[in-house]
Chains A and B, each alone.
Chain A
Amino acid sequence: MATPLDAEALDADVSDADTPDTGAPDTDAPSADVPSSDVLDAEALEIDPLLDDPTTRIVVCCGSGGVGKTTTAAALGVRAAERGRRTVVLTIDPARRLAQSMGLSELDNTPREVPGIDKAAGGELHAMMLDMKRTFDEIVETHADPDRAKAILENPFYQSLSTGFAGTQEYMAMEKLGQLRAGDEWDLIVVDTPPSRSALDFLDAPKRLGSFLDGKFIKLMMAPARVGGRAGMKVVNLGMAGLSLFTGALNKLLGAGLLRDVQTFVAAMDTMFGGFRTRADATYRLLQAPGTAFLVVAAPERDALREAAYFVERLAADRMPLAGLVLNRVHDSDAAGLSAERAVAAAENLEEGGIVDRRRGKILHRDAPSAGPADPEDGSPASESPGPARSVTTLGGNETTETTERTIPDARSAADRASAPDATGDDEDVAVLAAGLLRLHADRMRLLARERRTRDRFTALHPDVPLAQVAALPGDVHDLDSLRTIGGRLADQHRRASTGTD
């Protein structure tokens, strides 16, 4: 199911490419400079005022997985710091190279200063990775006397709970956020949310913890231990048939040891529960406070935006302050005046000059004798054209993997032409290049149209959500400069908006 390259298949997609086609092929009308037509219905999200506002104390980046949440959080941190704020970025699970770009080589649960930040404006950037077990341990150590803390930390049930069962990461991320905020050491805390199954777990986690701790069952579990009973089997005496059956069942199912561990754990945690619950509630309220700004991060793809819409609704329902939507990896073109349709037509024009039979993905020589399947290694473009050597040498070879049988690369063409002595060789070469550029452009324009449709669907449903679009970088992000570039693109929404409406 590759994207069809055949012209027949294009029709559907280019229909809403808003290109004023002048019709006259050879007029030098200025319409070729029609800008990228990002006519935004949505209000532009103003990143710099948000970051500069001294009352903004927390920025939460949330969204589904794989949309660049962590990168956005890091870029915001760099920008805020270089604009003069003492900033800390709390990341949950950064990609290794992104972490390295911020000088985070280890997971030690303490903010570390990020080197290489321009501190001229008086700000600085610190970053930390969440270590959930450590965070959990610290809570236990803070809230229990040493003996009790030791008992909890050594409890096997606690050990599995604290190292990665559902929800723990979310609890601990919010706990850490609460700690950072309570310390009041930072002007601004930028937090990246965990890659949850629902992406909303971090909102629910504190509440769930609260209601869990308030639950009848846990009180019953604690009751026998409280009165000093042995391992809770007195629950049976409470006369609740279901419950006794259940604990009995659990005992048989899990083995008596586990339930005993749980009860010891619950008993030991008893003194901490109040503190736990208060903290969870406080963190939840903190998220609702005016100093907090939520940014929903998405990519211009259907699923990601569907999730984003769900998020926006959920944040509204929970009265969480939404600052706007960050749309990452949006594509743009400086030649948006040339529609996909016309680009393809022109490419075909060049190809049908008798040079390239596109549908078979092969070069056909009208004049030159058939060269047969020449060895592509020798005639790669590197040897015949003086392009930027760095990439040409790596791109010239015909290194298709055995798995990409779907498409037939055209590397052979260069070899064939190189060996063809006729004078038209150069023209053919150029025609192939020009056609390739045009097809690439057509793909870009179709992508643009698709992204725009997806985005417009979202803005139609949520017209009040301010929007910032960030142009796609060709590669992945792993240094401060790329983070700065992204920060710049995030902040610079006017350029796009104004060129669109001119």
Chain B
Amino acid sequence: MTGKGGTGKTTVAAALALALAHGGRRTLLVEVEGRQGVAQLFETEPLPYEERKIAVSHGNGEVYALAIDAERALLDYLQMFYKLGSAGRALKRLGAIDFATTIAPGLRDVLLTGKACEAVRRRDKQQRPVYDAVVMDAPPTGRIARFLGVNEEVAGLAKVGPVHNQAQAVMRLLKSPETAVHLVTLLEEMPVQETVDGIAELRATGLPATSVVVNMVRPQLPGEEQLLSAQERTDEIARAFARAGLGGARRGGRAERLVAPLLEQGREHAERVELERGLRAELSAQGLPVRELGLLSEGVELAGLYGLARELRGQWLTSGTDGARP
């Protein structure tokens, strides 16, 4: 799940993890940017670097969460390949780990994507996947193609060795039908522009661009199509306001004085609606499924999150297979 800052990608990612856990399934929600957004959303303590159950979805599903820490992931990695043990801690003191994750090109992103892919592939003793789906709250749209594509670059830099192989395996998974990249946007110009650019970049690098999620869609008001025609009918509207008990309709009366500011708000709203219409057209021209999620007027809290998950289930999971394997 990617999206421009402020579009609510963390929220949508969490809602999708909940929705996909529905019916006794198990999902993993992965955070990679160290912001602890998931913990805030679920109103829990900051997540440690371990997979931990954070929510139970409707229908007895389980959502686990993991905040991946690049340094720890590197130590895991070295441990996995070389059984470093306490030498790892010594390296940490020396700043070697810091060195590697800060400056070694892309290593950080490699570790993050690698860890997520490991969770996707992990199987239990019966050889069943441990997680039915892994949802990643990924970096923003502007960086997503680079982030997901980093393994390609690394596979090019590290021409042999386990990292090379690992990087290639990650790329294979990311480019396979098992991976879906959803782009969260708002009906505002800049996020839509970034979404369009992001889709182009993903496509150019051979990565999937699966769907667009328009978040925080303002509910349509009954009658909003006609708001502009109201501009010419001030006297009648003043009388209607008066009929509704809002004061006098004559000039200077309370109802009459409401007309101008309310019409102005109507005009602004109509302008907004027109803008949104253009942006919707731009998004649908991308040739991807476009889903819309309504605005949570009170901001997102836990109840709202479950509501979004329900909405996702309703309009998304039933409509196709593209959302089933993020």
A215 to chain B, nearest CB (A): 4
A384 to chain B, nearest CB (A): 8
Which residues of A sit under 8 angstroms from B274, Cβ to Cβ? 391, 394-395
B176 interface residue, CB < 8 Å from A?
Answer: no
Q: C-beta contact mask, A28-65 vs B, less than 8 Å → 1, else 0?
A: 11001100000000000000000000000000000011
A254 interface residue, CB < 8 Å from B?
Answer: yes
Which residues of B sit under 8 angstroms from A443, Cβ to Cβ? 221
Task: Out of B219, B224, B241, B261, name the residue touching A346 (CB < 8 Å).
Answer: B241
**Contact across chains for A212 and B103 when beta carbons are under 8 A apart:** yes
Task: Out of A161, A333, A385, name the residue touching B105 (CB < 8 Å).
Answer: A161
B123 interface residue, CB < 8 Å from A?
Answer: no
CA–CA, A356 and B221, complex, Å: 13
Please name the residue on chain A nearest to B10 by beta carbon.
A303
Q: C-beta contact mask, B151-182 vs A, less than 8 Å → 1, else 0?
A: 00100011111111000000000000000000
B interface size (C-beta, 8 A): 118
Please name the residue on chain A nearest to B33 by beta carbon.
A197
B264 interface residue, CB < 8 Å from A?
Answer: yes
B138 to chain A, nearest CB (A): 11
B-side interface mostly: helix
Given contacts A33-B257, A392-B229, contact A433 B280 (CB under 8 A): no
**Contact across chains for A254 and B158 when beta carbons are under 8 A apart:** yes
A229 interface residue, CB < 8 Å from B?
Answer: no
A interface size (C-beta, 8 A): 127
B119 interface residue, CB < 8 Å from A?
Answer: no
B326 interface residue, CB < 8 Å from A?
Answer: no
Which residues of A sit under 8 angstroms from B223, Cβ to Cβ? 410, 413, 432-433, 435-436
**Contact across chains for B265 and A2 when beta carbons are under 8 A apart:** no
Which residues of chain B in 95-151 are interfacial with respect to chain A, using CB atoms and an 8 Å cutoff? 95-96, 98-100, 102-106, 108-109, 139-140, 142-143, 146
Task: Out of B34, B94, B232, B260, name the residue touching A198 (CB < 8 Å).
Answer: B34
CA–CA, A195 and B33, complex, Å: 13
Which residues of A sit under 8 angstroms from B258, Cβ to Cβ? 32, 335, 338
**Contact across chains for B295 and A437 when beta carbons are under 8 A apart:** no
CA–CA, A475 and B155, complex, Å: 44
**Contact across chains for B229 and A385 when beta carbons are under 8 A apart:** yes
Which residues of B sit under 8 angstroms from A65, Cβ to Cβ? 4-6, 140
CA–CA, A430 and B249, complex, Å: 14
Which residues of B sit under 8 angstroms from A432, Cβ to Cβ? 222-223, 226
A429 to chain B, nearest CB (A): 8
The stretch from A90-98, A111-119, A125-133, A280-288 touching chain B is A90-98
Q: C-beta contact mask, A143-187 vs B, less than 8 Å → 1, else 0?
A: 000000000000011001100111100000000000000000000
Please name the residue on chain A nearest to B96 by beta carbon.
A217
Which residues of chain A in 333-355 are interfacial with respect to chain B, using CB atoms and an 8 Å cutoff? 333-335, 338, 342, 345-347, 349-350, 353
Q: C-beta contact mask, A430-447 vs B, less than 8 Å → 1, else 0?
A: 111111111111011010
A252 interface residue, CB < 8 Å from B?
Answer: yes
A414 interface residue, CB < 8 Å from B?
Answer: yes
CA–CA, A289 and B91, complex, Å: 37
CA–CA, A450 and B297, complex, Å: 9
CA–CA, A26 and B243, complex, Å: 10
27 examples of A-B residue contacts, CB within 8 angstroms: A1-B296, A4-B297, A5-B219, A28-B248, A66-B186, A166-B102, A197-B34, A197-B35, A215-B98, A217-B94, A220-B94, A240-B94, A243-B94, A252-B82, A342-B246, A349-B245, A381-B229, A384-B229, A385-B229, A404-B220, A429-B226, A430-B236, A432-B226, A434-B237, A435-B240, A436-B227, A437-B265
* A-B contact sample (4 more), CB < 8 A, given A249-B78, A349-B245, A403-B291: A165-B103, A243-B90, A385-B229, A444-B265
**Interface residues of A, Cβ cutoff 8 Å to B:** 1-5, 13, 25-29, 32-33, 64-67, 93, 95-98, 156-157, 160-161, 164-167, 195, 197-198, 208, 212, 215-218, 220-221, 240-243, 245-246, 249-250, 252-255, 257-258, 261-262, 299, 301-304, 333-335, 338, 342, 345-347, 349-350, 353, 356, 358, 361, 380-381, 384-388, 391-392, 394-401, 403-411, 413-414, 426, 429-441, 443-444, 446, 450, 454, 474-476, 478
**Interface residues of B, Cβ cutoff 8 Å to A:** 4-7, 33-35, 77-78, 81-82, 84, 87-88, 90-91, 94-96, 98-100, 102-106, 108-109, 139-140, 142-143, 146, 153, 157-164, 186, 188-191, 193-194, 214, 217-233, 236-237, 239-248, 252-254, 257-258, 260-266, 268-275, 277, 280, 284, 290-299, 304, 307-308, 311, 315
